[in-house]
Amino acid sequence: MLTRPRIEGLGLALLIAVVDRVVKAVMVGPLALRERGLIELLPFFDLRYAENYGVSFGMFTADTMEMRWGLIGMTALIACGVLVWMLRETQRGDILGLGLVLGGAIGNIYDRLTFGYVIDYADFNLGEWRPFQIFNLADVAITFGVLILLARSFKSREKPDETGDDTATENA
């Protein structure tokens, strides 16, 4: 059943996917980041064009067409799992976290289907030191969605009874 929070979660996923697509189009279109390679903005943040053929930190790089389709299939399967989880979830905060993850996944899957790689452009750096790999808005949405889910799962854990008697909660 599509409740209001689930509709909001699906809307958030769609919004993230669309905004991610628009930002990437601006990066390779009007800003010509692919051709320029680098646009220095701040001492600690640049726009730097990168093509990511793998997943986080370049792991599972898809060197062949078969590997590319395998990676697309794997990420699409995970996105479907997130969608099912979202449609079964009842807590609004969890649904919105799942919406962020789903929207980011859709944005990156679109890139893989269209280009064969994910377009990355955000580069936080302190000189030569980069605390993060070059990333994009979809990656940020996925990261924040996972952090929300983790924080909510830690927050919702039941605390054991102060007397040390766990049977009180088991029998309740």
Q: Using one digit for the tens of pLDDT, what is the confidence trace for 81-105?
A: 999 999 999 999 999 999 999 999 9
List the helix and strand counts (H, then E) for the chain. Answer: 6, 3
Q: What is the pLDDT of residues 3-16, one digit of tens each?
A: 999 999 999 999 99
The residue whose two tokens read 């808005």 is 137
Please say whether the beta carbons of 91 and 132 come within 8 A.
Answer: no
Active-site residue, selected from the candidate residues 94, 120, 165, 166: 120
Give ∠ CA 40-44-46 in degrees, rounded to 5: 30
20 a catalytic residue:
no
Quick one: CA dihedral 47, 25, 111, 99, positive or negative?
Answer: positive
pLDDT tens sequence across 149-159:
999 988 877 55
Q: Is 139 a catalytic residue?
A: yes
Catalytic residue among 20, 94, 111, 139: 139
